[in-house]
Amino acid sequence: MNIVVCVKQVPDTWSEKKLDASDSTLDRAATDPVMNEMDEYAVEEALKLQEANGGEVTILCMGPDAATETVRKALSMGADKAIHVVDDALHGSDAVATSLALAKAISKAQEAGPVDLVLLGSESSDARMSVVPAMLAERLGLPQLTFAKEVTVDGSTVSIKRLTDDGYQVVTASTPAVVSVVEKINEPRYPSFKGIMAAKKKPVETYGLTDLGVDAGEVGLGGAWSHVASFESAPPRQAGTVVKDENGDGADKLVEFLASKKFV
Amino acid sequence: MAEVLVLVEHTDGEVKKVTGELLTLAARLGEPSAVFIGSGFDAAKEALAAHGAAKVYVVEDTEVSSYLVAPSAEVLAKLVADSAPAAVLLASTAEGKEIAARLAVKTGSGVITDATDLTADDGVTAEQQVFGGSTIVRSRVTIGTPIVTVRPNSVAAQRSGAAAERIDVAVELSAAAKGARITDRVVEEKGERPELTEAAIVVSGGRGVGSADNFSVIEALADALGAAVGASRAVTDAGWYPHQHQVGQTGKTVSPQLYVAAGISGAIQHRAGMQTSKTIVAINKDPEAPIFELVDYGVIGDLHVVVPALTDKVRARKG
Q: What is the DSSP string of A121-167?
A: ES--TTT----HHHHHHHHHT--EEEEEEEEEEETTEEEEEEEETTE
B219 burial (CB, 10 Å; 0-12 / 13-18 / 19+) is: middle
Q: What is the pLDDT of residue B124?
A: 92
Would you say residue A54 has pLDDT above 80? yes
Residue B190's pLDDT band, with cuts at 50, 70 and 90, is low
Residues with Cβ within 8 Å of residue A10, at least 6 apart in sequence: A33, A34, A35, A36, A124, A125, A126
**Percentage of the residues of chain A whose pLDDT score is greater than 90:** 80
* Entry field: residues in chain A: 264
Q: What is the pLDDT of residue A79?
A: 98
- Measure CB to CB from residue B139 to each of A172, A226, A232 and give the nearest one: A226
Q: Which residues of B68-102 are buried (b: 16+ CB within 10 A; e: fewer)?
A: bbbbbbbbbbbbbeeeebbbbbbbbbbbbbbbbbb
Average of per-residue pLDDT values in chain B: 94
> Nearest to residue B69, comparing CAs of B111, B109, B103, B39?
B103
Q: What is the pLDDT of residue A13?
A: 74
- Rounded to an integer, what distance in angstroms lies between the CA atom of residue A219 and that of residue B105? 14
Name chain B contacts of A95, Cβ cutoff 8 Å: 101, 111
- Rounded to an integer, what distance in angstroms lies between the CA atom of residue B62 and that of residue B79? 18
Q: What is the pLDDT of residue B161?
A: 86
CB-CB neighbours of B200 under 10 Å:
16
Do A144 and B243 lie within an 8 Å CB cutoff?
A: no
Q: What is the pLDDT of residue B134?
A: 81
- Rounded to an integer, what distance in angstroms lies between the CA atom of residue A75 and that of residue A80? 6
Average of per-residue pLDDT values in chain A: 94
CB B255 within 8 A of CB B116: yes
Do A242 and B143 lie within an 8 Å CB cutoff?
A: no
φ, ψ of residue A212 to 5 degrees: the values are -90, -5
Name chain A contacts of B303, Cβ cutoff 8 Å: none
Residue B131's pLDDT band, with cuts at 50, 70 and 90, is confident
CB B272 within 8 A of CB B132: yes
Residue B57's pLDDT band, with cuts at 50, 70 and 90, is very high
- Measure CB to CB from residue B250 to each of A183, A224, A237 and give the nearest one: A183
CB B279 within 8 A of CB B259: yes
- Rounded to an integer, what distance in angstroms lies between the CA atom of residue A259 and that of residue B164? 39
- Measure CB to CB from residue A129 to each of B97, B144, B201 and give the nearest one: B97
- Rounded to an integer, what distance in angstroms lies between the CA atom of residue B93 and that of residue B254? 11
Would you say residue B49 has pLDDT above 80? yes
Q: Minimal Cα–Cα distance from B274 to chain A, Å? A: 13
Residues with Cβ within 8 Å of residue A21, at least 6 apart in sequence: none
Q: What is the pLDDT of residue A20?
A: 84
Do B183 and A224 lie within an 8 Å CB cutoff?
A: no
Percent of chain B that is helix, strand, coil (3-state, to 5): 30, 30, 40
Stretch B130-150: mean pLDDT: 91
CB B203 within 8 A of CB B227: yes
- Rounded to an integer, what distance in angstroms lies between the CA atom of residue B19 and that of residue B47? 9
Specify the DSSP class assigned to residue A178. Answer: E
- Rounded to an integer, what distance in angstroms lies between the CA atom of residue B218 and that of residue B6? 36
Q: What is the pLDDT of residue A3?
A: 98
Do B300 and A245 lie within an 8 Å CB cutoff?
A: yes
A52 burial (CB, 10 Å; 0-12 / 13-18 / 19+) is: exposed
- Rounded to an integer, what distance in angstroms lies between the CA atom of residue A27 and that of residue A18? 6
Specify the DSSP class assigned to residue A29. Answer: G
Do A242 and B292 lie within an 8 Å CB cutoff?
A: yes
Closest residue on chain A to B298 (Cα): A242
- Rounded to an integer, what distance in angstroms lies between the CA atom of residue A250 and that of residue A145? 48
Residues A89-114 have pLDDT tens digits of 999 999 999 999 999 999 999 998 99
> Nearest to residue B21, comparing CAs of B2, B30, B3, B8?
B8
- What string of DSSP letters covers B56-93? EEEE--TTGGGBSSHHHHHHHHHHHHHH--SEEEEESS
Do B104 and A241 lie within an 8 Å CB cutoff?
A: no
Q: What is the pLDDT of residue B121?
A: 81
Q: Is B54 touching A (CB cutoff 8 A)?
A: no
Closest residue on chain A to B176 (Cα): A141
CB A151 within 8 A of CB A66: no
**Percentage of the residues of chain A whose pLDDT score is greater than 70:** 99
- Determine the angle formed by the axes of helices A132-140 and B94-107, rounding to 10 degrees: 40
Maximum Cα interatomic distance, chain A, rounded to a whole number of Å: 72
Query: By three-state DSSP, how is residue A112 classified?
Result: helix
Stretch B254-271: mean pLDDT: 94
Residue B139's pLDDT band, with cuts at 50, 70 and 90, is very high
Q: What is the pLDDT of residue B67?
A: 96
Residues B204-249 have pLDDT tens digits of 999 999 999 999 999 999 999 999 999 999 999 999 999 999 999 8
Degrees to nearest 5, angle at CA A76 with A70 and A80: 100
Q: What is the pLDDT of residue A165?
A: 84
Size of the A and B interface in Cβ pairs below 8 Å: 280
Stretch B103-110: mean pLDDT: 97
- Measure CB to CB from residue B185 to each of A143, A169, A184 and give the nearest one: A169
Question: pTM value?
Answer: 0.92
Rg (CA), chain A: 22
Would you say residue A137 has pLDDT above 90? yes
Q: Is B158 touching A (CB cutoff 8 A)?
A: no
Enumerate the β-bridge partners of residue B284. B300
Would you say residue B132 has pLDDT above 80? no
Q: Is B283 touching A (CB cutoff 8 A)?
A: yes
Percent of chain A that is helix, strand, coil (3-state, to 5): 35, 30, 35
- Can you tell me the ipTM of this complex? 0.93
Q: What is the pLDDT of residue B130?
A: 85
Cα B153 to Cα A76, B110, B111, B156, B280: the distances in Å are 43, 24, 20, 7, 15
> Nearest to residue B60, comparing CAs of B48, B42, B78, B77?
B42
Residues A14-38 have pLDDT tens digits of 777 788 888 888 887 767 889 999 9
